[in-house]
Amino acid sequence: MVEKAVAKAITALKERDLEMSHLVVAEDDLIDRKRYQLEEQCVELIATQQPLARDLRVIISVLHISVELERMGDYAEGIAKISIMMGNEPPLKPLIDIPRMTEKATDMLRRSLDALVKRDAVAAEKVCYDDDEVDDLYDQVYRELLFFMLQDPRTVQRATYLLWVAHDLERLADRATNIAERVIFLVTGKMVEINVSKY
Amino acid sequence: MVEKAVAKAITALKERDLEMSHLVVAEDDLIDRKRYQLEEQCVELIATQQPLARDLRVIISVLHISVELERMGDYAEGIAKISIMMGNEPPLKPLIDIPRMTEKATDMLRRSLDALVKRDAVAAEKVCYDDDEVDDLYDQVYRELLFFMLQDPRTVQRATYLLWVAHDLERLADRATNIAERVIFLVTGKMVEINVSKY
């Protein structure tokens, strides 16, 4: 659901499809609800099954990861709202780096969840290291948008919109990294914190 | 610990006290460790005491809130690292709005935890609404820094540093809001999501 929401939000941004943006905003409620359903299920499982410590750790991982996913859904919603604020204005420039960030971030999301399902700490670690690439792309977008603004202050508002979008994507990748770190902890018992974003 | 880390990080930034900044970075490990200790204690409590659903919800809230706190610690660390990157350069401008954001955000943090201890959903709700003030301050800082950059492109790097700091503070307030939302859920069983940041 989150992956689809992000993809839709970015497509709607690119194609200036405001209807699709509104849909992303509306559908975020379903993601929110799913998170609470998951939490309810976890509570019920713990209360009725009295799981052992090992199983408990899996359940607690699910609790944490569902929060990360729900917040990622918020970023998709955020991007959709920015797109709505832009209205019928064309984007400041052709979107190149932003779709690349999207691809990278959703790829990290997918791989972090694969790593969870397969209990694969090595794959999870790779996800964490990829976060740097998204940070670099964000840096690039930031510098480029700044260049536009410095060249022509009338572009400030439109550049700022795209900057927010890039920001949401950067945070999305951060959260994929959080999921991956949680997988590493679940599998190895080792607490790593590879991701300290500078933004 | 988190409140102190944030206060120290900002004081160090203002007073260009690099030693203090390094201390904040080093001490973040203690916050990280505390989070994991808390999680261990929660797991043990659940495994050995078989708490009822009601108590379980409190424990799960603690699990979630400790993650929020730990991440807030990361923002303090992030601010300290930015300060270190700035080296001996003076800040671009006297810091006025950034300390105000800090005060507001740490006030929100304190009140969200008070609301947790007192199980006070009304107080928690007030915290959520205060998030808008921090967002407004961030907007103000953003516009002001942009103005500096547009006036004199040579300020871009130094303005960017301060923008990151303001960003970390904005996210800190977001996380205080997350804690407050969790308190509301714990007390009322109602899931609210007041905080959808636009950044």
B125-141 per-position pLDDT tens digit: 999 999 999 999 999 99
**pLDDT at B92 exceeding the cut of 90:** no
- Give percent above pLDDT 90 in chain A: 78
Structure tokens at A118: 């397969």
SS (H, E, C) A91-138: CCCCCCHHHHHHHHHHHHHHHHHHHHHHCCHHHHHHHHHHHHHHHHHH
Task: Read off the CATH number of the domain in which B34 is found.
Answer: 1.20.58.220
Q: Is the CB of residue B121 less than 8 Å from the CB of residue B184?
A: yes
State which of A94-98, B65-69, B185-189 shows the largest mean pLDDT: B65-69
Q: Is residue B198 part of a domain?
A: no
Instruction: Kindly report the average pLDDT of chain A as a whole number.
Output: 92
Chain B neighbours among A 38-57 (CB < 8 Å)? 39, 42-44, 46-47, 50, 52-53, 56-57
For residue A195, being part of any structural domain is answered with no
Give CA torsion, residues B187, B127, B168, A127, to 10 deg.
Answer: 20
Domain span holding position B133: 2-188
Please write the tens of the pLDDT for every residue from A78-106.
999 999 999 988 778 788 899 999 999 99
B69 touches chain A (CB under 8 A): no
Look at residue B75 in the predicted model and tell me its pLDDT: 96
A179 lies in some domain? yes
Of B24, B26, B30, nearest in space to B10 by CA: B24
How confident is the model at residue A196, as a pLDDT? 55
Q: Which residues of chain B does A53 touch, with a Cβ-Cβ cutoff of 8 Å?
A: 43-44, 47
- Dump pLDDT digits (tens) for A113-128: 999 999 999 999 999 9
Query: How many angstroms separate the CA of residue A118 from the nearest CA in chain B?
Result: 23
Distance CA B120, CA B97 (A): 30
- Tell me the shortest Cα–Cα distance from A29 to chain B, in angstroms: 10
Q: Taking 70 as the threshold, does the pLDDT of residue B196 lie above it?
A: no
Q: pLDDT tens digit string along A154-170?
A: 888 899 999 999 999 99
- What is the complex's ipTM, to 2 decimals? 0.84
In this model, does residue B12 exceed pLDDT 80? yes
Taking the C-alpha atoms of residue B122 and residue B127, their distance in angstroms, rounded to an integer, is 9
* B196 within a domain of the structure (yes/no): no
* Helices and strands (H, E) in chain B, number of each type: 6, 0
Looking at the complex, report in whole angstroms how far the Cα of residue A164 sits from the nearest Cα belonging to chain B: 5
Give the mean pLDDT of chain B.
92
Q: Looking at the domain assignment, is residue A35 inside a domain?
A: yes
Q: Tell me, what's the pLDDT at B104?
A: 97
Question: Which DSSP string corresponds to B25-75?
Answer: HHHHHHHHHHHHHHHHHHHHHHHHH---HHHHHHHHHHHHHHHHHHHHHHH
Residue for token digits 């002001």?
Answer: B144
Residue A69 falls inside a structural domain? yes
Q: Is residue A38 part of a domain?
A: yes
**Cα separation of B84 and B97, whole Å?**
20
**Residues A99 and A61: beta-carbon distance below 8 Å:** no
B153 close to A (CB below 8 A): yes
Query: CA-based diameter of chain B, in Å?
Result: 63
The domain total for chain B is: 1
